[in-house]
């Protein structure tokens, strides 16, 4: 039987997946057989011919858990699943049994099992498998992930812990994540003061790291449904800044910051040629992560030749305006992909720095 830890969160985008990656990395340094499970998966993916949640696919790819894959994501919620349940076309009881069978296999096989919830504790209620109820069914204690504020975190925890209390599930620790570095100590001090009467411990997670939230060039290509052109090595480069090439060519070059995706319309030949050529200079290659070229006007032949010769990574679209592209990119909350090797390496390194696994391990004994 495995030691179990259920990762829940007060809301979406608190960093559950990052914490799961971190704990898998740290647990494997102590335990021989470490497993991962996403009992209820709302983000559909396919890996090795098996339909699973995206987070299960990620953990499988990063940690080589192919043998466990059929059991890591037993219940996958498709876009029409809610309607089918309400219409009586899907049986929640059958979903529960599928989940319990998968859990039993992993529980027998593993020494340490990380169970990641979906969204906030109420997610899954429509099929009577909320995060809180799943934690009870699996006999797991909860690590509750929050954001890095004070007042908002206190309010969110007060509301969310009621669901766990209703199901008789124990929250063993609260992990405040995405903390502002300059406020880390004071934030944790206030949270510990606020929750002094609670039975759970308040722990510090990661400091806020924009690099972990920023997309790679390949991610931008994916959300825009565009093909990558130019240097293939640039596809996994992390985009820290998105800049619209509206001013003069000289001014655009002056404004460039490191790891910038530069949006340049197809009619700006001078700027496209300059950016492509500057990409050949090491100091500017550091700044220009790639080009995004919108516009219905064709790129001129000579400009196209220069883009290809300079091998600058670029995406080309005629479907969206510059403003719309900027809006789409800004609105995307990037989820870590298996190919994001730079980010995953950073998460492993930060985990060893920021997360006290020995303390967590003792709390969940």
How much is the pLDDT for 333? 65
Q: How many CA atoms lie within 13 A of 134 on its CB side?
A: 37
pLDDT tens-digit series, residues 109-154: 999 999 999 877 788 888 888 999 999 999 999 999 998 889 999 9
Report the C-alpha gap between 22 and 251 in whole angstroms.
42
Mean pLDDT calculated for residue range 202-207: 93
**Whether residue 323 sits in one domain with residue 237:** yes
Same domain, 307 and 352: no
Q: Which residues constitute the domain of residue 320?
A: 215-331
Mean pLDDT of 329-336: 75
pTM of the model: 0.79
- The answer on 141 and 44 residing in a single domain is yes
| SS3 state at 29 | coil
Whole-angstrom CA distances from 133 to 15, 47, 130, 219 are: 21, 28, 5, 34
Question: Same structural domain for residues 43 and 90?
Answer: yes
Please state, in angstroms and rounded to a whole number, the distance separating the CA atoms of residues 152 and 177. Answer: 13
CATH number at residue 237: 3.40.1390.20
* CATH code, domain with 148: 3.40.50.300
Q: How many domains does the chain have?
A: 2
The tokens for 49 are: 């011919």
176 HSE (CA, 13 A, CB side):
28
Domain match, 25 and 99 both: yes
Residues 200 and 219 in one domain: no
Residues 238 and 165 in one domain: no
Residues 200 and 252 in one domain: no
Together in a domain, 66 and 178: yes
pLDDT in tens, 27-78: 999 999 999 999 998 888 889 999 999 999 999 999 999 999 999 999 998 8
Range name among 85-94, 145-154, 297-306, 334-343 with the lowest pLDDT average: 334-343
Nearest to 298 by CA among 267, 263, 264: 267
pLDDT in tens, 216-266: 898 899 889 999 999 988 888 888 899 999 899 999 999 999 999 999 999
């Amino acid at each position: 039987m495995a030691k179990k830890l259920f990762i829940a969160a007060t809301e979406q985008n608190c960093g559950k997946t990052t914490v799961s990656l971190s704990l898998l990395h740290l647990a494997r340094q102590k335990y021989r057989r470490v497993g991962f499970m996403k009992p209820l998966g709302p983000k559909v993916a396919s890996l090795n011919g098996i339909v699973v949640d995206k987070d299960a696919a990620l953990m499988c790819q990063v940690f080589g858990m192919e043998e466990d894959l059929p059991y890591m994501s037993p219940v996958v919620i498709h876009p029409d699943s809610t309607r089918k349940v309400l219409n009586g076309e899907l049986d929640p009881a059958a979903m529960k049994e599928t989940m319990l069978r998968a859990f039993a296999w992993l529980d027998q096989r593993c020494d340490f099992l990380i169970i990641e919830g979906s969204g906030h504790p109420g997610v899954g209620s429509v099929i009577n498998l909320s995060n809180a109820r799943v934690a009870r069914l699996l006999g797991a204690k909860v690590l509750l992930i929050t954001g890095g504020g004070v007042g908002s975190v206190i309010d969110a925890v007060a509301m969310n812990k009621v669901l766990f209390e209703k199901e008789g599930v124990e929250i063993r620790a609260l992990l405040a994540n995405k903390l502002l570095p300059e406020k880390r100590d004071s934030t944790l001090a206030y949270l510990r003061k606020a929750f002094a009467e609670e039975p759970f411990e308040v722990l510090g997670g990661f400091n806020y790291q924009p690099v972990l939230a920023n997309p790679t060039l390949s991610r931008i290509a994916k959300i825009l449904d565009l093909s990558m052109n130019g240097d293939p090595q640039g596809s996994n480069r992390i985009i820290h800044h998105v800049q619209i090439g509206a001013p003069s060519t000289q001014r655009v070059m002056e404004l460039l910051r490191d790891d910038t995706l530069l949006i340049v319309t197809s009619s700006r030949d001078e700027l496209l040629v300059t950016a492509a050529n500057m990409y050949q200079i090491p100091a500017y290659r550091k700044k220009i992560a790639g080009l995004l070229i919108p516009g219905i006007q064709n790129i001129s032949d000579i400009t196209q030749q220069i883009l290809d010769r300079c091998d600058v990574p670029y995406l080309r679209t005629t479907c969206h305006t510059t403003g719309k592209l900027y809006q789409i990119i800004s609105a995307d909350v990037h989820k870590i992909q298996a190919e994001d090797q730079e980010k995953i390496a950073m998460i492993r390194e930060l985990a060893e720095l920021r997360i006290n696994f020995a303390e967590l391990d003792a709390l969940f004994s």
